[in-house]
Chains A and B, each alone.
Chain A
Amino acid sequence: MGLVPVTPGPSLVDAGISPADAALLRRLVPAMPTAWHRLNPLTKATIAAGESIGAFVLGGYLGPLLILALVIVPSAVVARVAGRLLRVSILVSLPIAVSVVLVTVFTRAGPTVLFTIGPFVATLEGADFAGQVLVRLLVLATALGLFGMTTEPRALVFDLERRGVSPRLGFAAAATLETIPAMAERAAAIQAAQRARGLDTEGGIRARLRGVLPLVVPVVLSSLTEVEERSLALEVRAFGRPGHRHLLWTIGDAAWERPVRWGIVIAVIGVGVARLAGAWPHIP
């Protein structure tokens, strides 16, 4: 697929290192097996944001479906993650999709009644609205999913830092992502410890509710302790030092990527303004 030109890929930002060290640093760079992976992280983030916002701005069915068919699916094919992306996107958006269908189909008033269940009336207008929301939701899930599957957080963090964003912001984002599985792991350990002491965490709702407090309190308190210790551990490694850091590697940014990013931003803003002004034609 020749739609995506090959970008420079990773680059070492400092000269004067030995070939052996340069080889080591290259091995540290996240794997970028396809042309899509090799895009600059900011470009991928801009594309994902543009696709997501674009689907909501265009509305209807056709606009979001065109974004899906002409941009997201080909990109996923280039990145060789199409099958996994579809599975993960459906799995992640399924609970929201079910809620949207239940709420909109039965609560949106309209003259065309499809069927009734007791006091609930399903209307064609409600089903139509639910369909439009689902299409946008699918675009949102696949766009963000493609970004997540093809971009390592540290690559984005380093790229943003290279552009002048504070490393503290990047650290906060990356650390938050790591905190979630760490908290789940700690909660499981605390649950096992409390059960060993006789706490009943299974059975009826009452028993489960009784078991919540002895789990939540230690999890929260230990998380707070961990946050303090983690911040102290970073302090002793000079994380609070102001000034420039020399990064070990960054992802390249091809000359054509910057105009593409600006093009996406301008296009999304332009369509949004046109829609608000009523100058954009209605697309079904």
Chain B
Amino acid sequence: MLELRGVSYRYPGYATQVLRDLDLTIADGEIVGLVGANEAGKSTLCLVASGLAPASIGGRLTGSLLIDGEPMTGRAPHELAERVVAGFQDPATQRSGVAATVFEEVALGPMNLGLAVAQTVGRTRAALAALGIEALAERHPSRLSGGQSQLVALASLLVMRPRHMVLDEPAARLDPAGTNLVAGAIRALAATGAGLLIAEHRTDLLDGLCGRIVVLDGGCVVLDGPAGEVFADDRIEGFGVEPPARIRLARALAARGLDPALIVLDADATPVRGVASPDPAAAPSAPA
């Protein structure tokens, strides 16, 4: 379990706190979505939760980061590498630049841990297999599509076998096909027992992927609950968060006097039940 207790943080050289007295818990195997307006503190929370702030980037942190009840505050990032890791939005900047194959790129982490070659190879093969990208093993890391590159970046985190992962907009630069690949990968990561915190603007990606949503505003947690409830909360737009298309469509239907309870969409926005209307002539066809 990853816990943030009473965390406040400000960047070096700044007087304002970006995170303020924040509490957050992520259980093993749980996928938690983190949403909020720009400047709400999502990326900063990712840095703090992964132990990179203040250890790598400086700044002042009060409160504590605990993993499985053990305090992690003040530890060097390499000491946390097998407990919590962080992924960022641009897969290109997550490449080491020293590997000529995907296999070597993914293997870099275990090598850094000082593992024997047999262990490094075993972990690397397992990480590639978990994300279904074994076929990319001998490809050059810089000659992949955006989605494939992000999967390699995720495999490079998974290979560390961390208890928790923090992903800051992992699909921000991807097209719909790449986004689907990453969403599948995130489910695979959670299936390994890792607890995931995913900061993301696109609530459609989080809808159906996350069991729980945390809304951040001004560096504070303002909403925290089951995804369905938080996304349906009327206040969410006031915090600069656009609800998923499923919710917006239901609201639009309700505004036209249609019964939103009768529309059910799955996570891919595919209607699985028809729309009932009091006036069949006015009813739209099933939305695609």
Q: A237 and B118: CB pair below 8 A?
A: no
Chain B residues whose C-beta falls within 8 Å of the C-beta of A14 in the assembled complex:
116-118
Q: B116 and A230: CB pair below 8 A?
A: no
Contact with B along A162-205 (1 / 0, CB 8 A): 00000000110011011100100000000000000000000000
Q: A28 and B104: CB pair below 8 A?
A: yes
B9 CB-CB contact with A under 8 Å: no
B287 CB to closest chain A CB, in angstroms? 34
Evaluate whether A235 and B111 lie within 8 angstroms (CB atoms) in the complex, with A17-B117, A178-B97, A229-B88 already known: no
* B interface, CB within 8 angstroms of A: 47, 50, 52, 56-57, 76-78, 80-81, 85-88, 90, 92-101, 103-104, 107-109, 111-118, 120-122, 125, 137-138, 142, 153, 156-157, 160
Q: A233 and B88: CB pair below 8 A?
A: yes
Chain A residues whose C-beta falls within 8 Å of the C-beta of B87 in the assembled complex:
233
Given contacts A17-B117, A175-B96, 10 further A-B contacts (CB under 8 A): A14-B118, A28-B101, A175-B97, A178-B97, A226-B93, A230-B95, A231-B56, A236-B52, A241-B114, A248-B121
Evaluate whether A241 and B96 lie within 8 angstroms (CB atoms) in the complex, with A14-B117, A17-B118, A248-B111 already known: no
Evaluate whether A241 and B78 lie within 8 angstroms (CB atoms) in the complex, with A27-B138, A174-B97, A232-B57 already known: yes
Instruction: Give the nearest-CB partner of B119 in chain A.
Output: A246
Chain A residues whose C-beta falls within 8 Å of the C-beta of B99 in the assembled complex:
154
Q: How far is the CA of A247 from the CA of B156 in the complex (A)?
A: 17
A143 CB-CB contact with B under 8 Å: no
Q: How far is the CA of A247 from the CA of B277 in the complex (A)?
A: 66
Q: B157 and A236: CB pair below 8 A?
A: yes
A164 CB to closest chain B CB, in angstroms? 15
Q: A246 and B90: CB pair below 8 A?
A: no
* A interface, CB within 8 angstroms of B: 12-14, 16-17, 21, 24-25, 27-28, 30, 152-154, 157, 170-171, 174-175, 177-179, 182, 226, 228-241, 243-248
Question: What are 29 A-B residue pairs whose CB atoms fall within 8 Å in the complex?
Answer: A13-B117, A14-B118, A16-B116, A17-B117, A17-B118, A21-B121, A24-B103, A24-B121, A28-B100, A28-B101, A152-B100, A153-B98, A157-B98, A171-B97, A174-B97, A175-B98, A177-B97, A233-B153, A236-B80, A236-B157, A237-B81, A237-B109, A237-B160, A239-B96, A241-B114, A245-B112, A246-B111, A246-B116, A248-B117
Chain A residues whose C-beta falls within 8 Å of the C-beta of B47 in the assembled complex:
232
Chain B residues whose C-beta falls within 8 Å of the C-beta of A236 in the assembled complex:
50, 52, 77, 80-81, 85-86, 157, 160
Q: How far is the CA of A249 from the CA of B142 in the complex (A)?
A: 21
Q: Which 3 A-B pairs have the closest CB atoms?
A: A14-B117, A238-B81, A241-B78
Instruction: Give the nearest-CB partner of A170 in chain B.
Output: B98
B72 CB to closest chain A CB, in angstroms? 13
Chain B residues whose C-beta falls within 8 Å of the C-beta of A237 in the assembled complex:
81, 85, 96, 108-109, 112, 156-157, 160
